[in-house]
Chains A and B, each alone.
Chain A
Amino acid sequence: MIEIERVKKSFGSLTVLDEVSLSVNTGEVVSIIGGSGSGKSTLLMCINGLEPIQGGRIAVDGIEVHAAGTDLNKLRRNIGIVFQQWNAFPHLTVLENVTLAPRKVLKMSRAEAEAIAVQQLEHVGLGDKLKAFPGKLSGGQQQRMAIARALAMSPKYMLFDEVTSALDPQLVGEVLDTMRLLAGEGMTMILVTHEMGFAREVSDRVAFFKSGKIHEIGSPQQIFESPQMPETRAFLNSVL
Protein backbone atom coordinates (compact mmCIF):
# COMPACT_ATOMS: atom_id res chain seq x y z
CA MET A 1 0.00 0.00 0.00
CA ILE A 2 1.18 3.49 -0.87
CA GLU A 3 0.18 6.21 1.59
CA ILE A 4 0.66 9.81 0.65
CA GLU A 5 -0.27 12.28 3.38
CA ARG A 6 -0.35 16.05 3.08
CA VAL A 7 2.80 16.08 0.97
CA LYS A 8 4.36 19.44 0.25
CA LYS A 9 7.01 19.86 -2.37
CA SER A 10 8.58 23.00 -3.76
CA PHE A 11 11.41 23.95 -6.06
CA GLY A 12 12.76 27.12 -4.52
CA SER A 13 9.81 29.46 -4.14
CA LEU A 14 7.65 27.46 -6.55
CA THR A 15 5.17 25.21 -4.76
CA VAL A 16 4.64 22.13 -6.89
CA LEU A 17 2.75 19.83 -4.51
CA ASP A 18 0.45 21.46 -2.02
CA GLU A 19 -0.76 19.09 0.69
CA VAL A 20 -1.40 16.13 -1.58
CA SER A 21 -2.98 13.08 0.06
CA LEU A 22 -3.69 9.80 -1.69
CA SER A 23 -3.76 6.16 -0.68
CA VAL A 24 -3.33 3.40 -3.22
CA ASN A 25 -4.27 -0.10 -2.13
CA THR A 26 -2.68 -3.29 -3.33
CA GLY A 27 -4.12 -4.30 -6.69
CA GLU A 28 -5.56 -0.87 -7.34
CA VAL A 29 -5.01 1.17 -10.49
CA VAL A 30 -5.11 4.93 -9.97
CA SER A 31 -4.85 7.35 -12.87
CA ILE A 32 -3.71 10.92 -12.49
CA ILE A 33 -4.87 13.44 -15.03
CA GLY A 34 -4.32 17.18 -15.18
CA GLY A 35 -2.75 20.03 -17.07
CA SER A 36 0.91 20.55 -17.81
CA GLY A 37 2.98 21.68 -14.83
CA SER A 38 0.37 20.62 -12.26
CA GLY A 39 2.90 18.41 -10.44
CA LYS A 40 2.01 14.93 -11.70
CA SER A 41 5.55 13.82 -12.61
CA THR A 42 6.93 15.34 -9.44
CA LEU A 43 4.54 13.28 -7.31
CA LEU A 44 5.73 10.04 -8.91
CA MET A 45 9.36 10.99 -8.30
CA CYS A 46 8.60 11.73 -4.65
CA ILE A 47 6.99 8.31 -4.20
CA ASN A 48 10.24 6.46 -4.87
CA GLY A 49 12.41 9.10 -3.24
CA LEU A 50 13.99 10.51 -6.39
CA GLU A 51 12.85 13.90 -5.12
CA PRO A 52 12.87 15.07 -1.49
CA ILE A 53 9.71 16.55 0.03
CA GLN A 54 9.30 19.56 2.30
CA GLY A 55 6.33 18.39 4.31
CA GLY A 56 3.96 15.51 4.96
CA ARG A 57 4.88 11.86 4.53
CA ILE A 58 4.92 9.05 2.02
CA ALA A 59 5.00 5.42 3.12
CA VAL A 60 5.27 2.36 0.91
CA ASP A 61 4.26 -0.86 2.70
CA GLY A 62 4.77 1.04 5.93
CA ILE A 63 8.29 2.17 5.07
CA GLU A 64 8.76 5.93 5.34
CA VAL A 65 10.28 6.98 2.01
CA HIS A 66 11.76 10.25 3.20
CA ALA A 67 12.88 9.22 6.68
CA ALA A 68 16.59 9.62 7.32
CA GLY A 69 17.51 5.95 7.75
CA THR A 70 15.50 4.55 4.83
CA ASP A 71 17.45 2.44 2.35
CA LEU A 72 16.10 3.96 -0.85
CA ASN A 73 17.95 1.55 -3.10
CA LYS A 74 16.18 -1.30 -1.39
CA LEU A 75 12.81 0.45 -1.44
CA ARG A 76 13.12 1.14 -5.17
CA ARG A 77 13.36 -2.56 -5.96
CA ASN A 78 9.66 -2.73 -5.14
CA ILE A 79 8.68 0.29 -7.19
CA GLY A 80 9.07 0.20 -10.93
CA ILE A 81 8.84 3.51 -12.75
CA VAL A 82 8.68 4.28 -16.45
CA PHE A 83 9.29 7.85 -17.47
CA GLN A 84 7.77 10.26 -19.93
CA GLN A 85 10.96 10.51 -21.99
CA TRP A 86 12.52 7.26 -23.10
CA ASN A 87 15.29 6.39 -20.76
CA ALA A 88 16.90 3.43 -22.41
CA PHE A 89 20.61 3.09 -21.67
CA PRO A 90 21.94 3.58 -25.21
CA HIS A 91 25.28 1.82 -24.68
CA LEU A 92 23.67 -1.42 -23.54
CA THR A 93 21.73 -3.94 -25.64
CA VAL A 94 18.05 -4.48 -24.95
CA LEU A 95 18.92 -7.61 -22.98
CA GLU A 96 21.65 -5.82 -21.00
CA ASN A 97 19.29 -2.94 -20.25
CA VAL A 98 16.91 -5.40 -18.64
CA THR A 99 19.46 -7.61 -16.85
CA LEU A 100 21.43 -4.69 -15.38
CA ALA A 101 19.40 -4.10 -12.23
CA PRO A 102 18.67 -7.78 -11.46
CA ARG A 103 22.39 -8.46 -11.64
CA LYS A 104 23.75 -5.38 -9.90
CA VAL A 105 20.97 -4.77 -7.39
CA LEU A 106 19.54 -8.22 -6.74
CA LYS A 107 22.95 -9.87 -7.31
CA MET A 108 21.52 -12.51 -9.61
CA SER A 109 23.81 -14.60 -11.77
CA ARG A 110 23.94 -13.66 -15.43
CA ALA A 111 22.01 -16.80 -16.44
CA GLU A 112 19.30 -16.17 -13.86
CA ALA A 113 18.94 -12.52 -14.84
CA GLU A 114 18.85 -13.36 -18.54
CA ALA A 115 16.15 -15.97 -18.07
CA ILE A 116 13.97 -13.38 -16.33
CA ALA A 117 14.82 -10.68 -18.85
CA VAL A 118 13.96 -12.85 -21.82
CA GLN A 119 10.67 -13.76 -20.21
CA GLN A 120 9.82 -10.10 -19.55
CA LEU A 121 10.89 -9.00 -23.01
CA GLU A 122 8.75 -11.69 -24.60
CA HIS A 123 5.90 -10.53 -22.38
CA VAL A 124 6.10 -7.07 -23.98
CA GLY A 125 6.68 -8.45 -27.47
CA LEU A 126 10.40 -7.79 -27.80
CA GLY A 127 11.63 -11.37 -27.72
CA ASP A 128 13.32 -10.90 -31.10
CA LYS A 129 15.23 -7.73 -30.15
CA LEU A 130 17.46 -9.04 -27.36
CA LYS A 131 20.76 -8.19 -29.03
CA ALA A 132 19.65 -4.88 -30.55
CA PHE A 133 20.79 -1.53 -29.19
CA PRO A 134 18.00 0.84 -28.12
CA GLY A 135 18.98 3.32 -30.84
CA LYS A 136 17.70 0.82 -33.38
CA LEU A 137 14.26 0.55 -31.76
CA SER A 138 11.18 2.63 -32.38
CA GLY A 139 9.90 4.86 -29.58
CA GLY A 140 7.15 2.38 -28.79
CA GLN A 141 9.62 -0.48 -28.61
CA GLN A 142 11.93 1.54 -26.36
CA GLN A 143 9.05 2.32 -24.06
CA ARG A 144 8.04 -1.34 -23.88
CA MET A 145 11.65 -2.22 -23.14
CA ALA A 146 11.59 0.27 -20.26
CA ILE A 147 8.48 -1.46 -18.93
CA ALA A 148 10.18 -4.88 -19.19
CA ARG A 149 13.24 -3.43 -17.45
CA ALA A 150 11.15 -2.28 -14.53
CA LEU A 151 9.20 -5.56 -14.39
CA ALA A 152 12.38 -7.64 -14.31
CA MET A 153 12.83 -6.48 -10.71
CA SER A 154 9.46 -8.05 -9.85
CA PRO A 155 8.18 -4.80 -8.33
CA LYS A 156 5.01 -4.68 -6.28
CA TYR A 157 4.15 -1.29 -7.67
CA MET A 158 4.44 0.29 -11.08
CA LEU A 159 4.42 4.02 -11.71
CA PHE A 160 3.89 5.21 -15.28
CA ASP A 161 4.53 8.81 -16.28
CA GLU A 162 2.84 9.65 -19.57
CA VAL A 163 4.61 6.76 -21.20
CA THR A 164 2.80 7.31 -24.49
CA SER A 165 2.95 11.09 -24.76
CA ALA A 166 6.18 11.21 -26.76
CA LEU A 167 5.08 8.49 -29.16
CA ASP A 168 3.71 8.65 -32.68
CA PRO A 169 -0.02 7.92 -32.59
CA GLN A 170 0.33 4.56 -34.33
CA LEU A 171 2.73 3.36 -31.60
CA VAL A 172 0.54 4.35 -28.65
CA GLY A 173 -1.69 1.28 -28.92
CA GLU A 174 1.08 -1.29 -28.43
CA VAL A 175 2.27 0.38 -25.23
CA LEU A 176 -1.24 0.74 -23.86
CA ASP A 177 -1.82 -2.96 -24.60
CA THR A 178 1.20 -3.80 -22.47
CA MET A 179 -0.12 -1.73 -19.58
CA ARG A 180 -3.60 -3.18 -19.99
CA LEU A 181 -2.06 -6.63 -19.66
CA LEU A 182 -0.39 -5.61 -16.39
CA ALA A 183 -3.56 -4.10 -14.99
CA GLY A 184 -5.34 -7.35 -15.84
CA GLU A 185 -2.71 -9.31 -13.93
CA GLY A 186 -3.51 -7.33 -10.80
CA MET A 187 -0.45 -5.06 -10.68
CA THR A 188 -0.78 -2.06 -8.38
CA MET A 189 -0.26 0.97 -10.58
CA ILE A 190 -0.29 4.72 -10.56
CA LEU A 191 -0.41 6.10 -14.04
CA VAL A 192 -0.14 9.66 -15.14
CA THR A 193 -1.80 9.82 -18.52
CA HIS A 194 -3.26 11.97 -21.23
CA GLU A 195 -5.11 8.98 -22.68
CA MET A 196 -8.53 9.61 -21.19
CA GLY A 197 -10.18 6.60 -22.81
CA PHE A 198 -7.50 4.35 -21.41
CA ALA A 199 -7.67 5.90 -17.93
CA ARG A 200 -11.39 5.36 -17.90
CA GLU A 201 -11.06 1.74 -18.99
CA VAL A 202 -8.34 0.47 -16.63
CA SER A 203 -8.58 2.67 -13.54
CA ASP A 204 -10.28 1.98 -10.27
CA ARG A 205 -9.97 5.65 -9.39
CA VAL A 206 -9.05 8.79 -11.28
CA ALA A 207 -7.46 11.85 -9.65
CA PHE A 208 -7.60 15.26 -11.28
CA PHE A 209 -4.56 17.41 -10.48
CA LYS A 210 -4.54 21.18 -10.62
CA SER A 211 -1.89 23.54 -9.27
CA GLY A 212 -0.25 20.90 -7.14
CA LYS A 213 -3.48 19.76 -5.49
CA ILE A 214 -5.78 16.82 -6.05
CA HIS A 215 -8.77 18.83 -7.09
CA GLU A 216 -11.12 15.93 -7.48
CA ILE A 217 -10.85 12.17 -7.12
CA GLY A 218 -13.37 9.44 -7.77
CA SER A 219 -14.38 6.49 -9.86
CA PRO A 220 -13.86 6.82 -13.62
CA GLN A 221 -17.62 7.10 -14.03
CA GLN A 222 -17.80 10.00 -11.61
CA ILE A 223 -14.83 11.90 -13.02
CA PHE A 224 -15.64 11.41 -16.68
CA GLU A 225 -19.44 11.42 -16.59
CA SER A 226 -20.40 13.70 -13.74
CA PRO A 227 -17.40 15.67 -12.48
CA GLN A 228 -18.31 17.73 -9.40
CA MET A 229 -15.81 20.55 -9.80
CA PRO A 230 -16.07 23.14 -12.57
CA GLU A 231 -12.25 22.95 -13.07
CA THR A 232 -12.45 19.23 -13.75
CA ARG A 233 -15.20 19.82 -16.25
CA ALA A 234 -13.22 22.59 -17.93
CA PHE A 235 -10.10 20.39 -18.14
CA LEU A 236 -12.03 17.45 -19.59
CA ASN A 237 -13.72 19.70 -22.12
CA SER A 238 -10.33 20.96 -23.21
CA VAL A 239 -8.86 17.51 -23.80
CA LEU A 240 -11.79 15.39 -24.96
Chain B
Amino acid sequence: MGVFNYTFHWRPAFQALPAMLEGALVTIQLAVLSMLFGIAIGVVLSLMRGSKNRLLSGFAVTWVEIARNTPALFQIYIAYFGLGQIGIRLDSFIALLIGITFNNAGYLAETFRGGMRAVPPTQTRAARSLGLSAVDAYRLIVLPQMFRVVFHPMTNQMVWAILMTSLGVVVGLNTDLTGVTQELNVKTFRTFEYFAIAAVMYYLIAKFVTLGARAIAWRLFRY
Protein backbone atom coordinates (compact mmCIF):
# COMPACT_ATOMS: atom_id res chain seq x y z
CA MET B 1 0.00 0.00 0.00
CA GLY B 2 3.05 2.24 0.48
CA VAL B 3 2.91 3.86 -2.92
CA PHE B 4 -0.74 4.71 -2.61
CA ASN B 5 -0.21 6.36 0.76
CA TYR B 6 2.22 8.80 -0.82
CA THR B 7 1.08 12.33 -0.08
CA PHE B 8 2.47 15.28 -1.97
CA HIS B 9 4.50 17.83 -0.05
CA TRP B 10 5.17 20.66 -2.44
CA ARG B 11 6.18 23.33 0.07
CA PRO B 12 9.61 21.90 0.99
CA ALA B 13 10.16 21.07 -2.64
CA PHE B 14 9.55 24.67 -3.69
CA GLN B 15 11.91 25.82 -0.94
CA ALA B 16 14.61 23.94 -2.80
CA LEU B 17 14.01 25.99 -5.96
CA PRO B 18 17.00 28.34 -5.56
CA ALA B 19 19.35 25.37 -5.22
CA MET B 20 17.77 23.74 -8.24
CA LEU B 21 18.01 26.94 -10.29
CA GLU B 22 21.70 27.04 -9.51
CA GLY B 23 21.90 23.46 -10.73
CA ALA B 24 20.10 24.51 -13.90
CA LEU B 25 22.80 27.11 -14.53
CA VAL B 26 25.47 24.41 -14.34
CA THR B 27 23.39 22.33 -16.76
CA ILE B 28 23.19 25.21 -19.22
CA GLN B 29 26.89 25.90 -18.82
CA LEU B 30 27.70 22.27 -19.61
CA ALA B 31 25.42 22.21 -22.63
CA VAL B 32 26.78 25.47 -24.05
CA LEU B 33 30.41 24.47 -23.55
CA SER B 34 29.84 21.03 -25.04
CA MET B 35 28.20 22.64 -28.06
CA LEU B 36 31.01 25.17 -28.58
CA PHE B 37 33.66 22.45 -28.41
CA GLY B 38 31.41 20.10 -30.36
CA ILE B 39 31.02 22.62 -33.20
CA ALA B 40 34.76 23.29 -33.37
CA ILE B 41 35.66 19.60 -33.36
CA GLY B 42 32.74 18.76 -35.64
CA VAL B 43 34.05 21.18 -38.29
CA VAL B 44 37.52 19.63 -38.05
CA LEU B 45 36.11 16.09 -38.24
CA SER B 46 33.98 16.90 -41.27
CA LEU B 47 37.07 18.30 -43.03
CA MET B 48 39.15 15.26 -41.98
CA ARG B 49 36.44 12.96 -43.25
CA GLY B 50 36.71 14.51 -46.71
CA SER B 51 40.51 14.25 -46.66
CA LYS B 52 42.41 11.94 -49.00
CA ASN B 53 44.62 10.84 -46.12
CA ARG B 54 43.28 7.45 -45.01
CA LEU B 55 44.45 7.92 -41.45
CA LEU B 56 42.64 11.25 -41.06
CA SER B 57 39.41 10.12 -42.70
CA GLY B 58 39.53 6.81 -40.83
CA PHE B 59 39.89 8.61 -37.53
CA ALA B 60 36.93 10.86 -38.33
CA VAL B 61 34.75 7.98 -39.52
CA THR B 62 35.50 5.99 -36.36
CA TRP B 63 34.64 8.93 -34.13
CA VAL B 64 31.36 9.60 -35.98
CA GLU B 65 30.38 5.92 -35.98
CA ILE B 66 30.97 5.45 -32.27
CA ALA B 67 29.33 8.74 -31.29
CA ARG B 68 26.21 7.99 -33.29
CA ASN B 69 25.83 4.28 -32.68
CA THR B 70 26.59 3.72 -29.01
CA PRO B 71 24.61 4.98 -26.00
CA ALA B 72 25.58 8.44 -24.80
CA LEU B 73 25.69 6.96 -21.31
CA PHE B 74 28.58 4.67 -22.30
CA GLN B 75 30.43 7.54 -23.93
CA ILE B 76 30.30 9.44 -20.65
CA TYR B 77 31.15 6.33 -18.62
CA ILE B 78 34.23 5.71 -20.71
CA ALA B 79 35.33 9.34 -20.40
CA TYR B 80 35.23 8.94 -16.61
CA PHE B 81 35.98 5.34 -15.63
CA GLY B 82 37.71 4.24 -18.82
CA LEU B 83 40.20 7.10 -18.79
CA GLY B 84 40.46 6.65 -15.00
CA GLN B 85 41.69 3.12 -15.50
CA ILE B 86 44.52 4.22 -17.75
CA GLY B 87 45.54 6.74 -15.16
CA ILE B 88 43.75 9.86 -16.37
CA ARG B 89 41.67 10.97 -13.39
CA LEU B 90 39.06 13.49 -14.38
CA ASP B 91 36.74 15.61 -12.35
CA SER B 92 33.15 14.45 -13.01
CA PHE B 93 32.19 17.80 -14.57
CA ILE B 94 35.09 17.54 -17.04
CA ALA B 95 34.36 13.89 -17.76
CA LEU B 96 30.72 14.68 -18.52
CA LEU B 97 31.77 17.63 -20.67
CA ILE B 98 34.13 15.38 -22.63
CA GLY B 99 31.48 12.68 -23.05
CA ILE B 100 28.83 15.07 -24.36
CA THR B 101 31.33 16.94 -26.52
CA PHE B 102 32.35 13.61 -28.05
CA ASN B 103 28.72 12.89 -28.86
CA ASN B 104 28.00 16.41 -30.17
CA ALA B 105 31.10 16.45 -32.37
CA GLY B 106 30.15 13.11 -33.95
CA TYR B 107 26.64 14.20 -34.85
CA LEU B 108 27.64 17.71 -35.90
CA ALA B 109 30.44 16.40 -38.15
CA GLU B 110 27.78 14.65 -40.22
CA THR B 111 25.59 17.74 -40.17
CA PHE B 112 28.43 19.93 -41.41
CA ARG B 113 29.37 17.46 -44.11
CA GLY B 114 25.82 17.64 -45.40
CA GLY B 115 25.93 21.43 -45.15
CA MET B 116 29.07 21.67 -47.24
CA ARG B 117 27.55 19.53 -49.95
CA ALA B 118 24.36 21.57 -49.93
CA VAL B 119 26.07 24.64 -51.44
CA PRO B 120 27.01 23.85 -55.05
CA PRO B 121 30.50 24.81 -56.26
CA THR B 122 28.87 26.93 -58.96
CA GLN B 123 28.06 29.46 -56.22
CA THR B 124 31.75 29.94 -55.47
CA ARG B 125 32.53 30.14 -59.16
CA ALA B 126 29.87 32.82 -59.68
CA ALA B 127 31.24 34.82 -56.76
CA ARG B 128 34.86 34.55 -57.92
CA SER B 129 33.87 35.54 -61.45
CA LEU B 130 32.66 38.87 -60.03
CA GLY B 131 36.13 39.52 -58.63
CA LEU B 132 35.45 38.49 -55.04
CA SER B 133 38.43 37.02 -53.21
CA ALA B 134 38.30 33.38 -52.13
CA VAL B 135 37.80 34.46 -48.52
CA ASP B 136 34.96 36.84 -49.37
CA ALA B 137 33.29 34.25 -51.60
CA TYR B 138 33.38 31.76 -48.74
CA ARG B 139 32.36 34.24 -46.07
CA LEU B 140 29.59 36.02 -47.95
CA ILE B 141 28.22 33.33 -50.25
CA VAL B 142 29.05 29.81 -49.02
CA LEU B 143 28.91 30.16 -45.23
CA PRO B 144 25.54 31.89 -44.94
CA GLN B 145 23.90 29.25 -47.12
CA MET B 146 25.62 26.46 -45.25
CA PHE B 147 24.54 27.97 -41.95
CA ARG B 148 20.92 27.76 -42.96
CA VAL B 149 21.21 24.05 -43.76
CA VAL B 150 22.93 23.19 -40.47
CA PHE B 151 20.94 25.52 -38.24
CA HIS B 152 18.01 23.25 -37.48
CA PRO B 153 20.08 20.10 -36.77
CA MET B 154 22.34 22.23 -34.56
CA THR B 155 19.35 23.38 -32.54
CA ASN B 156 18.27 19.76 -32.10
CA GLN B 157 21.75 18.82 -30.93
CA MET B 158 21.71 21.67 -28.42
CA VAL B 159 18.47 20.36 -26.91
CA TRP B 160 19.90 16.86 -26.91
CA ALA B 161 23.03 18.15 -25.16
CA ILE B 162 20.92 19.76 -22.43
CA LEU B 163 19.11 16.48 -21.81
CA MET B 164 22.34 14.46 -21.95
CA THR B 165 23.80 16.48 -19.09
CA SER B 166 21.38 14.64 -16.78
CA LEU B 167 23.59 11.57 -17.29
CA GLY B 168 26.19 13.27 -15.09
CA VAL B 169 24.77 11.46 -12.06
CA VAL B 170 26.37 8.22 -13.24
CA VAL B 171 29.81 9.76 -12.88
CA GLY B 172 28.97 11.40 -9.55
CA LEU B 173 28.22 14.94 -10.69
CA ASN B 174 26.13 16.60 -7.98
CA THR B 175 26.12 20.24 -9.05
CA ASP B 176 23.97 20.17 -12.18
CA LEU B 177 20.16 20.15 -12.14
CA THR B 178 19.86 16.36 -11.98
CA GLY B 179 22.69 16.09 -9.45
CA VAL B 180 21.12 18.66 -7.13
CA THR B 181 17.73 17.02 -7.53
CA GLN B 182 19.11 13.59 -6.77
CA GLU B 183 20.81 14.85 -3.59
CA LEU B 184 17.56 16.40 -2.40
CA ASN B 185 15.80 13.18 -3.20
CA VAL B 186 18.25 11.09 -1.21
CA LYS B 187 17.89 13.39 1.78
CA THR B 188 14.09 13.66 1.78
CA PHE B 189 12.70 10.85 -0.41
CA ARG B 190 10.29 13.36 -1.98
CA THR B 191 11.13 11.77 -5.30
CA PHE B 192 8.10 12.77 -7.28
CA GLU B 193 8.05 16.43 -6.30
CA TYR B 194 11.72 17.12 -6.90
CA PHE B 195 11.93 15.27 -10.17
CA ALA B 196 8.67 16.81 -11.40
CA ILE B 197 10.06 20.28 -10.77
CA ALA B 198 13.35 19.32 -12.41
CA ALA B 199 11.49 17.93 -15.43
CA VAL B 200 9.59 21.20 -15.81
CA MET B 201 12.86 23.11 -15.65
CA TYR B 202 14.45 20.90 -18.32
CA TYR B 203 11.35 21.38 -20.42
CA LEU B 204 11.49 25.15 -20.08
CA ILE B 205 15.19 25.33 -20.92
CA ALA B 206 14.70 23.12 -23.98
CA LYS B 207 11.66 25.11 -25.10
CA PHE B 208 13.54 28.35 -24.65
CA VAL B 209 16.29 27.07 -26.94
CA THR B 210 13.83 25.84 -29.58
CA LEU B 211 11.73 28.99 -29.59
CA GLY B 212 14.81 31.22 -29.51
CA ALA B 213 16.23 29.32 -32.47
CA ARG B 214 12.95 29.67 -34.34
CA ALA B 215 12.99 33.43 -33.79
CA ILE B 216 16.60 33.66 -35.01
CA ALA B 217 15.79 31.53 -38.06
CA TRP B 218 12.81 33.70 -38.86
CA ARG B 219 15.02 36.81 -38.76
CA LEU B 220 17.92 35.31 -40.71
CA PHE B 221 16.43 33.03 -43.32
CA ARG B 222 13.88 35.11 -45.13
CA TYR B 223 14.46 33.47 -48.48
Listed in ascending order, the chain A residues whose CB lies under 8 Å from chain B are 45, 48, 50, 73-74, 76-77, 79, 81, 83, 85, 87, 89-91, 100-101, 104-105, 133-135, 146, 149-150, 153
The smallest C-beta distance from A39 to any residue of chain B, in angstroms, reads 17
B133 pairs with A91, CB closer than 8 A: no
- Alpha-carbon distance between A126 and B28 when the two chains are bound, in angstroms: 49
A104 pairs with B122, CB closer than 8 A: no
Which residue of chain A is the closest to B220 with respect to CB atoms? A91
A91 pairs with B126, CB closer than 8 A: no
B140 pairs with A76, CB closer than 8 A: no
Name the one of A48, A101, A133 contacting B223, with C-beta atoms under 8 angstroms.
Answer: A133
- Alpha-carbon distance between A90 and B222 when the two chains are bound, in angstroms: 10
- Taking CB atoms, residues of chain A closer than 8 Å to B129 are 48, 50, 76, 79, 81, 83
Is residue B41 contacting chain A, with contact meaning CB distance below 8 A?
no
B125 pairs with A89, CB closer than 8 A: no
B223 pairs with A91, CB closer than 8 A: yes
- Taking CB atoms, residues of chain A closer than 8 Å to B130 are 76, 100-101, 105, 149-150, 153
- Alpha-carbon distance between A77 and B129 when the two chains are bound, in angstroms: 8
- Alpha-carbon distance between A156 and B32 when the two chains are bound, in angstroms: 52
- Taking CB atoms, residues of chain A closer than 8 Å to B141 are 89
The smallest C-beta distance from B141 to any residue of chain A, in angstroms, reads 6
- Alpha-carbon distance between A83 and B122 when the two chains are bound, in angstroms: 9
The smallest C-beta distance from A116 to any residue of chain B, in angstroms, reads 14
- Alpha-carbon distance between A6 and B127 when the two chains are bound, in angstroms: 28
Mark each residue of chain B from 122 to 142: 1 if its CB lies under 8 Å from any CB of chain A, else 0. Answer: 110111111111001000110
- Taking CB atoms, residues of chain B closer than 8 Å to A85 are 122
A91 pairs with B148, CB closer than 8 A: yes
The smallest C-beta distance from B156 to any residue of chain A, in angstroms, reads 22
- Alpha-carbon distance between A73 and B136 when the two chains are bound, in angstroms: 11
- Taking CB atoms, residues of chain B closer than 8 Å to A105 are 130-132
B144 pairs with A91, CB closer than 8 A: yes
A87 pairs with B223, CB closer than 8 A: no
- Taking CB atoms, residues of chain B closer than 8 Å to A146 are 126
Main SS of the interface on chain B? helix
- Taking CB atoms, residues of chain A closer than 8 Å to B57 are none
Residue among A45, A50, A85, A87 with the highest chain B CB neighbour number at 10 A = A87
Name the one of B126, B128, B148, B221 contacting A89, with C-beta atoms under 8 angstroms.
Answer: B126
Given contacts A87-B123, A87-B125, A133-B222, contact A77 B131 (CB under 8 A): yes
- Alpha-carbon distance between A45 and B122 when the two chains are bound, in angstroms: 12
- Taking CB atoms, residues of chain B closer than 8 Å to A91 are 144-145, 148, 221, 223
Given contacts A100-B140, A104-B140, A135-B223, contact A74 B131 (CB under 8 A): yes
- Taking CB atoms, residues of chain A closer than 8 Å to B125 are 45, 50, 83, 87
Name the one of B126, B131, B145, B221 contacting A83, with C-beta atoms under 8 angstroms.
Answer: B126
The smallest C-beta distance from B163 to any residue of chain A, in angstroms, reads 32
- Taking CB atoms, residues of chain A closer than 8 Å to B222 are 133
Given contacts A87-B123, A89-B123, contact A104 B132 (CB under 8 A): yes
The smallest C-beta distance from B210 to any residue of chain A, in angstroms, reads 23
- Alpha-carbon distance between A129 and B116 when the two chains are bound, in angstroms: 30
- Taking CB atoms, residues of chain B closer than 8 Å to A135 are 223
B148 pairs with A87, CB closer than 8 A: no
The smallest C-beta distance from B217 to any residue of chain A, in angstroms, reads 13
10 A-B pairs in the complex with CB atoms less than 8 angstroms apart: A50-B125, A73-B131, A73-B133, A89-B123, A89-B141, A90-B145, A91-B144, A91-B145, A149-B130, A153-B131
Residues of B126-171 contacting chain A, CB below 8 A: 126-133, 136, 140-141, 144-145, 148
- Taking CB atoms, residues of chain B closer than 8 Å to A153 are 130-131
Which residue of chain B is the closest to A85 with respect to CB atoms? B122
- Taking CB atoms, residues of chain A closer than 8 Å to B127 are 89
The smallest C-beta distance from A214 to any residue of chain B, in angstroms, reads 23
Which residue of chain B is the closest to A75 with respect to CB atoms? B131
Which residue of chain A is the closest to B134 with respect to CB atoms? A73
Q: Which 8 A-B pairs have the closest CB atoms?
A: A87-B126, A101-B130, A133-B223, A76-B131, A105-B131, A77-B131, A81-B129, A73-B131
- Alpha-carbon distance between A214 and B148 when the two chains are bound, in angstroms: 44
The smallest C-beta distance from B140 to any residue of chain A, in angstroms, reads 7
